[in-house]
Amino acid sequence: MHHFQYRNGRLYCEDVPVEHIAQEAGTPCYIYSHATLHHHFTVFDGAFSQLPHLTCYSVKANSNLAILKLFGSLGGGVDIVSGGELFRARQAGIPPDRIVYSGVGKTREEIDYALSEDILMFNIESSQELEAISQRAVALGRRARIALRVNPDVDPKTHPYITTGMEKNKFGVAMDEALESYRRAAELPSVDVVGVDCHIGSQLTEVQPFVDALRRLRALIDRLAELGLETRYLDLGGGLGITYDREQPPHPTEYARAIVRELQGLNCTVIFEPGRVIVGNAGILLTRVLYTKKTPKKQFVIVDAGMNDLIRPSLYGSYHHIQPVVSEDRPTETVDVVGPICESGDFLARERALPQVQPGEYLAVMSAGAYGFTMASNYNSRPKAAEVLVHGDTFHVIRLRETWEDLVRAERIPEFLQ
């Protein structure tokens, strides 16, 4: 469900014509629907109301402060993977006891920052990281609450680049090594073992891989109990998919039913880390047609948004539905929708049937709320797009469009070159 709909042939976000946003905020521009964000979060969180749980939104999906503030106001926490994401979360007012820190490459500075903030827990990805966190906690006179990220070797049946729970992936501790790792953690100074963590991948469209992973985790939790280690938190990660094209992912309530059934008799707080399922279909990338071009082999629609704005099609071969902002009867043609970046891999769609468009028209790239702006870059020295949040019949610029001056603001020419 989302709040991007046509009215009298014109695309609206909630009660605001998308054309109006384009005229005021320019293009390319990310547009998010407050009503959709609010609805998706509350539906997901509410599906687990019968369990002690904490919904920790995955910041990497979309890290804008306004969006973090919204989810925090709804009682949510966050899952972070860097010191920068921790800084964003705290700037947005997320309490430390609702923050979990994942990621395979936490630096000393990031560990110290998280310890000083007294976050809920670290999800540990390796034995060396465990030792490093213990050492920093001792040095700072802090206690580090930790869970081990256990790799259950479950195939999530998704794109290989976003698979994280198999033995060949870089993430987590292997299941057959987990027990010994927990024994070691329990012996380390300034470390409190409080939970078990698992995340098997992203854009999952079936429930069964989640169930398979959970069953393996329960067996581990039983073994930990025999060692006298209580599991206060079970972090099941995120990964529930959305519809980009023809996918039919389970609804959060279906996912919740399966998880709740498997958790019967387990006395702990369950942490979930949804990202894409909350924000993916709550946002679009708005772009303007610059030119159309026909060659003996292809027809191209050249737009002002490129792979630096939305890299998913180039990086993953991902599908995003593209539609004109003004809908009217017109012939359809098969085109490549491409951007201005100096790369043959710069495309938003290939061999796509689209209504004929003319320069100056606007196109909406749908389902762009997750891993759109957060993966954007300044490649080709292109300023990053503006971000806009629509609330009812008003819209608010929640990130200013970068300027050319912004591109060089942090750069310095040494004296010997002047």
| Residues paired with residue 354 on neighbouring β-strands, in sequence order | 333
pLDDT at 169: 52
Selected residue with higher pLDDT from 222 and 37: 37
d(CA 213, CA 209): 6
- Are 256 and 369 contained in the same domain? no
Any domain includes 142: yes
d(CA 331, CA 276): 34
Any domain includes 122: yes
Any domain includes 418: no
- Confidence class for position 157, pLDDT limits 50, 70, 90: low
Condensed to tens digits (0 to 9), the pLDDT of residues 372-393 reads 999 999 999 999 999 999 999 9
276 is in an annotated binding site: yes
26 is in an annotated binding site: no
Any domain includes 416: no
d(CA 351, CA 333): 9
Does 29 qualify as catalytic in the annotation? no
- Out of 226, 248, 277, pick the residue that ends a domain: 277
Owner of token pair 């929640």 = 398
- Which of 18-27, 147-156, 400-409 bottoms out in mean pLDDT, i.e. has the lowest? 147-156
pLDDT at 270: 96
Mean pLDDT for 294-323 is 96
312 is in an annotated binding site: yes
**Is it the case that residue 165 has pLDDT exceeding 80?**
no
Calculate the CA dihedral of residues 332, 281, 102, 252 and round it to 10 degrees: -120
- Confidence class for position 166, pLDDT limits 50, 70, 90: very low
- Are 25 and 40 contained in the same domain? no
pLDDT at 2: 85
- Confidence class for position 156, pLDDT limits 50, 70, 90: low
d(CA 52, CA 401): 41
232 is in an annotated binding site: no
Percent of the chain at pLDDT exceeding 90: 83
pLDDT at 205: 83
| Residues paired with residue 271 on neighbouring β-strands, in sequence order | 54, 235
| Total number of domains in the chain | 2
d(CA 54, CA 354): 42
Any domain includes 61: yes
Mean pLDDT for 50-72 is 97
Mean pLDDT, the chain, integer: 93
**Which residues 6+ apart lie within 8 Å of 273 measured at CB?**
56, 57, 58, 79, 100, 102, 199, 235, 236, 237, 238
239 is in an annotated binding site: yes
Mean pLDDT for 16-29 is 98
Any domain includes 16: yes
- Are 309 and 260 contained in the same domain? no
- Confidence class for position 187, pLDDT limits 50, 70, 90: very high
- Are 286 and 343 contained in the same domain? yes
The residue ranges of DSSP E strands in 115-229, in sequence order, are: 121-124, 144-151, 173-174, 191-197
What type of residue is 212?
Answer: D
Distance, C-alpha 332 to centroid of its chain: 34
| Residues paired with residue 303 on neighbouring β-strands, in sequence order | 289
371 is in an annotated binding site: yes
- Are 337 and 234 contained in the same domain? no
* Domain limits for position 165: 34-277
CATH number, residue 353: 2.40.37.10
pLDDT at 265: 86
- Are 266 and 312 contained in the same domain? no
Any domain includes 413: no
- Are 136 and 258 contained in the same domain? yes
pLDDT at 367: 97
- Are 42 and 20 contained in the same domain? no
Beta carbons of 160 and 202 less than 8 angstroms apart? no
77 is in an annotated binding site: no
- Are 251 and 378 contained in the same domain? no
57 is in an annotated binding site: no
- Are 134 and 246 contained in the same domain? yes
d(CA 396, CA 143): 41
**Is it the case that residue 160 has pLDDT exceeding 70?**
no
- Out of 255, 277, 299, pick the residue that ends a domain: 277
Condensed to tens digits (0 to 9), the pLDDT of residues 272-287 reads 999 999 999 999 999 9
- Are 98 and 180 contained in the same domain? yes
Q: What is the pTM of this model?
A: 0.94
pLDDT at 161: 42
pLDDT at 162: 40
- Out of 232, 257, 277, pick the residue that ends a domain: 277
Condensed to tens digits (0 to 9), the pLDDT of residues 85-116 reads 999 999 999 999 999 999 999 999 999 999 99
**Is it the case that residue 158 has pLDDT exceeding 80?**
no
Any domain includes 138: yes
CATH number, residue 271: 3.20.20.10
Condensed to tens digits (0 to 9), the pLDDT of residues 189-246 reads 999 999 999 988 888 888 888 888 889 899 899 999 998 999 999 999 998 999 998 8
Mean pLDDT for 142-169 is 68
- Are 91 and 233 contained in the same domain? yes
